[in-house]
Amino acid sequence: MTRIAYLDGRFLPIATPAVAVEDRGLQFAHGVYEVIKAIGGRLVDLERHLDRLERSLAEAAIPMPTSRAVLALLLEECLRRNRLRDAVVYLQIDRGVAERNHVCPESVEPTLFITVRPLRLPAQEEYEQGVAVITLPDERWARCDIKSVSLLPNVLARSRAAALGAREAWLVDAGGVVTEGSASNAWIVDAAGVLRTHPLGPRILGGVTRSVVLELAHAQGIPVAERAFTLAEAAAAREAFLTSTTSLVLPVTRIDGRPIGDGRPGPVTRSLARAYAAHIGFKSAAEE
């Protein structure tokens, strides 16, 4: 079936050449995006995604092109037209089409487009055995809290990881601190048994999955601290995992080729993976 995309008021076959050459998203990466999953036709944590979208838009000086309610309807209509119930929805809003100039005339309308594809989670085996990550220097800019389409460092890092047979690249700053993954948030259960992830701020993207998993951890009484950890602490951790909309809670059992803990997904990770699967109404992937 041909996939259908939405672009500025029209539903089009996805291969239709439709974005203008002078779109500021193309020329300046002047745009923001969201990746939202649908399970059983329901958009998971939609309000949290729309909250983050509005924040990214404000920080990137892009007007919201329509109301939240209309956006939600458009997302649902895209799912319907693509006959998908378990899906990944990609939504991008950029500053719009104008003669190339760093300064954008105020009258320019933003561009909005939406694409949908089937949800392809990591393999069952990866949830059961854990995945490998490599570490790379964090070479990104100082506003990683904005979900900007300017993703060149992330693309290069993730591609390097893939070339080396790893699932993700964890990014390490000049002080040896693990900030986050190229497309996911990074977590450890440290040597003292405390669940840790980098605090919110300009160095990381505030993941929607991250915010849910923090709540689940609190609800389970797991000792948790939004406190950054170093690569050395990660190497000495009992457990590690990553979170993202499209990976859920994914155990990390090797960092730079060295096993974490006993080299298998640990109890805190498995418990949070189960709780998150229940939160999204999903039964198979994260279940043992």
Catalytic residues: 147
From the list 275, 279, 170, the residue with the least C-alpha distance to 232 is 170
Q: Which of 82, 184, 197, 253 binds ligand PDD (CB under 6 A)?
A: 184
101-133 in b/e form (b: 16+ CB < 10 A) is: eeebeeeeebbbbbbbeebebeeeebbeebbbb
CB of 89 to ligand PDD, least distance (A): 11
- Map the footprint of ligand PDD across residues 202-261, applying CB under 6 A: 205, 207-210, 243-246
Give CA 32 to chain center in angstroms: 13
240-259 in b/e form (b: 16+ CB < 10 A) is: bbbbbbbbbbbbbbbbeeee
Name the residue nearer to ligand PDD (CB basis): 56 or 243: 243
Q: Which stretch binds ligand PDD (CB under 6 A): 65-73, 180-188, 214-222, 227-235?
A: 180-188
Q: Which of 135, 185, 197, 253 binds ligand PDD (CB under 6 A)?
A: 185
Residue where the block lists tokens 């980098």: 198
CB of 52 to ligand PDD, least distance (A): 7
Name the residue nearer to ligand PDD (CB basis): 97 or 187: 187
200-223 in b/e form (b: 16+ CB < 10 A) is: eeebbbbbbbbbbbbebbeeeebe
Yes or no: say if 168 and 131 are a contact pair by the CB < 8 Å rule.
yes
Name the residue nearer to ligand PDD (CB basis): 123 or 192: 123
Name the residue nearer to ligand PDD (CB basis): 98 or 244: 244
CB of 86 to ligand PDD, least distance (A): 15
CB of 279 to ligand PDD, least distance (A): 12
Residues 24-53, mask of contacts with ligand PDD (x by CB under 6 A): -----------x------------------
- What is the rounded distance in angstroms from the CA atom of residue 243 to the CA atom of residue 114? 23
Q: 239 forms bridges with which residues in the sheet?
A: 189
CB of 36 to ligand PDD, least distance (A): 9
Q: Is 183 in the site for ligand PDD (CB under 6 A)?
A: yes
164-173 in b/e form (b: 16+ CB < 10 A) is: eebbbbbbbb
Binding site for ligand PDD (CB under 6 A): 35, 154, 180, 183-185, 205, 207-210, 243-246
